[in-house]
């Protein structure tokens, strides 16, 4: 998983509240294997009116925002079902950070597993950021995870809170397997001790295997 440290990138305003996981990754695509990628699934029914026919009014289909890596949404972004494919679609589509007033609880938990940073800011600041992005299409935002700070197009710095464990995982690019492997020496020591305390379990297993 790619670490998240500091990101300066084009940001796109997404004004609608309650953008749920079915809008982010429609249910009919959920059987697709992870290895096939989910970039083309992202906001599929909002982006396309028919196969290959883009809706020109959708923000990510407009030239200044097409390569956006940051979304500034409204409230309750990622509500709805628990599908982890919503996170995959955002990350595969190039989005590494979503800034909003609030997020769906399960989406919030899934996001860190896929390397997606979610930033909560209060309503006036989120609305001000979206206003700047509308006024300056293609404007950039900087998100500094180490400092826990968002810098808007106007240069104003907006601090945000994040749980220490979530911050550490994102900074080091650790998914759940990666978190476990950081304890590999302790796991190996436990296994050696367990074998030493109960050698008959492993002799029996070796005998059966032979």
pLDDT-based confidence at residue 209 (cuts at 50, 70, 90): very low
**pTM (2 d.p.):** 0.84
Residue 116 has pLDDT above 70, yes or no: yes
CA dihedral 109, 2, 142, 121 (to 10 degrees): 0
Mean pLDDT confidence for 54-76: 96
Percentage of the chain with pLDDT > 90? 79
Handedness of CA 50, 48, 38, 111 (dihedral sign): negative
């Amino acid at each position: 998983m790619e670490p998240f440290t500091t990101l300066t990138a084009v940001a796109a305003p997404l004004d609608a509240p309650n953008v749920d996981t079915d809008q982010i990754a429609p249910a009919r695509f959920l059987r697709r294997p992870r290895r096939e990628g989910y970039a083309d699934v992202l906001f599929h029914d909002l982006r396309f009116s028919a196969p290959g026919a883009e809706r020109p009014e959708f923000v990510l289909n407009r030239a200044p925002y097409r390569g956006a890596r940051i979304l500034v949404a409204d409230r309750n972004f990622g509500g709805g079902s628990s599908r982890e494919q919503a996170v995959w679609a955002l990350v595969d589509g190039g989005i590494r950070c979503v800034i909003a007033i609030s997020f769906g609880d399960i989406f919030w938990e899934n996001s860190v597993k896929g390397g997606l940073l979610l930033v909560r800011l209060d309503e006036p600041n989120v609305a001000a950021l979206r206003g700047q992005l509308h006024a300056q299409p293609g404007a950039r935002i900087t998100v500094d995870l180490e400092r826990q700070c968002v810098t808007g197009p106007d240069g104003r710095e907006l601090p945000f809170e994040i749980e220490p464990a979530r911050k550490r995982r994102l900074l080091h690019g650790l998914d759940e397997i990666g978190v476990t492997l950081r304890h590999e020496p302790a796991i190996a020591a436990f296994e050696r001790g367990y074998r030493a305390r109960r050698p008959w379990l492993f002799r029996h297993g070796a005998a059966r295997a032979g």
